[in-house]
Structure 1
Amino acid sequence: MTTTLITGANKGLGYETARRLIEAGHTVWMGARDEIRGQQAADQLGGRFVQIDVTDDTSVASAAATISANGGLDVLVNNAGISQPFVAPMDLTPADATHVFETNVVSIVRMTNAFVPLLKESDAGTIVNVTSGMGSFSFVLDPHHVESTIVAPIYQSSKSAVTMMTVQYAKALPELRVNAADPGYTATDFNNNSGPQTVTEGTDAIVELATRGGQGPTGTFINRDGVAPF
């Protein structure tokens, strides 16, 4: 049986990913900062709750120890992330940038360092980094894509960084499958439920990568339609 950890799993894309992977037969650790909300979400779906704050070294190390002591890990889904403040670009501050990059980018380094030893013990070690088409240079420069209509310097650059980190970790960890998933414009709390896609549609790429059983390409960036341009 495949064991999967999803960060930010108490709502939105993380919760729906957990639901679908549990339905597919995975044992799913649902990670969340808030113990009450996280445990409630796990109870609702039949998952296992683990408290984890991806911005905190001690919290991540504790979660890794818990999962290691309970059988190990096959798939890591780095889903936790935040948006930038909804203000005009010139009103953004260095503190805003630090906060967003700490959560969206630096946390992936922290999570990778903590969980790769467990993933290397699996025959199907997999990392799925949830990125965004908002970080795709091709999409943001193409007037036919909605991503080109949005100006969010901090968030968009953080997701470009996530995609590049995915490619670099794929090169550094050839024994694992390390790929990036773009959910697309999905209706969640993240965007005040303004996206045209359902959360099920938004998790298609994530679920696809998480259920390949350690097979297939590594270092790719996909959305629900297939391989996407960087």
Structure 2
Amino acid sequence: MTITFITGANKGLGFETARRLSALGHTILLGARDAERGQAAAEQLGARFVPIDVADDASVMRAAADVAAHEGSIDVLINNAGIIGPSVSAEALTGLQAMDVFGTNVAGIVRVTHAFLPLLRGSSDPVVVNVSSGMGSFAVTHDPERTESKVIAPLYTASKAAVTMLTTQYARACPDIRFNAADPGYTATDLNGQSGPQTLTEGTDAIVTLATEHASEGTGRLIDRFGPVAW
């Protein structure tokens, strides 16, 4: 039985990923910072709710201790939790706002990965999937044919570029664990006011692929639902 822990899984991409992997036979540990919503989502899926706020060190360590006590190990870690940041002009951005976005989207992945590495190493085939974005790709955001080239969101895009680089560095540093990044594409979620043209199912295709593929597919990659993403 594959045990999969997903952060930010009470709604959107995280919830749809949990639903799809559960249908494929994964045992889902549904992580969320809102206890009421997280518990409700877990009950809906037949999953176990684990409280976690990826921006808080103590919360992340409690979550890892909870999983260690109940499951003992995990096979797949999906770092999905993230925020888009303030809706202000680039000129109005502040250092505190940058710290908030990077504290969740980037440092959050470091916190969770650090805490859960011992649990992953209890698996015979450990996998980490980091939810990144084509918005953090130089190639994608400079392609006039792509929607991403029309968007200005300095903190979010920079944080997702950092997520992809973190993924490649972890892949090199930890060859016993497969680290890959998923670009969901422009998907209708709360982050964009449900404006994306892709469905949640389409948006989770790359995440589900990375969580279920054979080990021979490799590590240190960024893919979307169509294949490798240049960045």
- Tell me how far 1:213 sits from its aligned partner: 5.2
SS in 2 for 1:180: strand
Cα distance in 2 between the residues matched to 1:209 and 1:40: 26
Alignment match, 1:104: 105
SS in 1 for 2:145: coil
Amino acid at match of 2:49: F
Alignment match, 2:229: 228
SS in 1 for 2:77: strand
SS in 2 for 1:83: coil
Q: Note if contact 1:123-1:214 (Cα within 8 Å) is conserved in structure 2.
A: no
Cα distance in 2 between the residues matched to 1:89 and 1:180: 27
Amino acid at match of 1:182: D
- Tell me how far 1:163 sits from its aligned partner: 0.2
Please, what TM-score do these two structures have when normalized by structure 2?
0.98
Q: Note if contact 1:139-1:147 (Cα within 8 Å) is conserved in structure 2.
A: yes
Amino acid at match of 2:191: F
SS in 2 for 1:86: coil
Cα distance in 1 between the residues matched to 2:123 and 2:45: 25
Cα distance in 1 between the residues matched to 2:93 and 2:32: 27
SS in 2 for 1:112: helix
RMSD of equivalent CA atoms: 0.9
Amino acid at match of 1:138: A
Q: Note if contact 1:32-1:50 (Cα within 8 Å) is conserved in structure 2.
A: yes
Count of residue pairs the alignment pairs up: 230
Alignment match, 1:193: 194
Alignment match, 1:205: 206
- Tell me how far 1:65 sits from its aligned partner: 1.1
SS in 2 for 1:31: strand
Amino acid at match of 1:11: K
Deviations 1:118-159 (A, max 9, x none): 111101100000000000010111111111111111110000
Cα distance in 1 between the residues matched to 2:137 and 2:183: 10
Cα distance in 2 between the residues matched to 1:94 and 1:116: 30
Deviations 1:89-127 (A, max 9, x none): 111111111100000000111111101111111011000
SS in 1 for 2:217: coil
Identity over aligned pairs, percent: 60
SS in 1 for 2:4: strand
Q: Note if contact 1:6-1:77 (Cα within 8 Å) is conserved in structure 2.
A: yes
Q: Note if contact 1:80-1:104 (Cα within 8 Å) is conserved in structure 2.
A: yes
Alignment match, 1:65: 65
- Tell me how far 1:216 sits from its aligned partner: 2.0
> Comparing 185-194 with 209-218, which one deviates more in the overlay?
209-218
- Tell me how far 1:54 sits from its aligned partner: 0.5
Amino acid at match of 1:133: G
Amino acid at match of 1:143: P
- Tell me how far 1:212 sits from its aligned partner: 2.0
Cα distance in 2 between the residues matched to 1:23 and 1:134: 30
- Are 2:146 and 1:141 equivalent residues in the alignment? no
Cα distance in 1 between the residues matched to 2:200 and 2:220: 24
Alignment match, 2:21: 21
Unaligned runs of 5+ in 2: none
Alignment match, 1:45: 45
Alignment match, 1:55: 55
Please, what TM-score do these two structures have when normalized by structure 1?
0.98
Cα distance in 1 between the residues matched to 2:74 and 2:214: 12
Alignment match, 1:8: 8
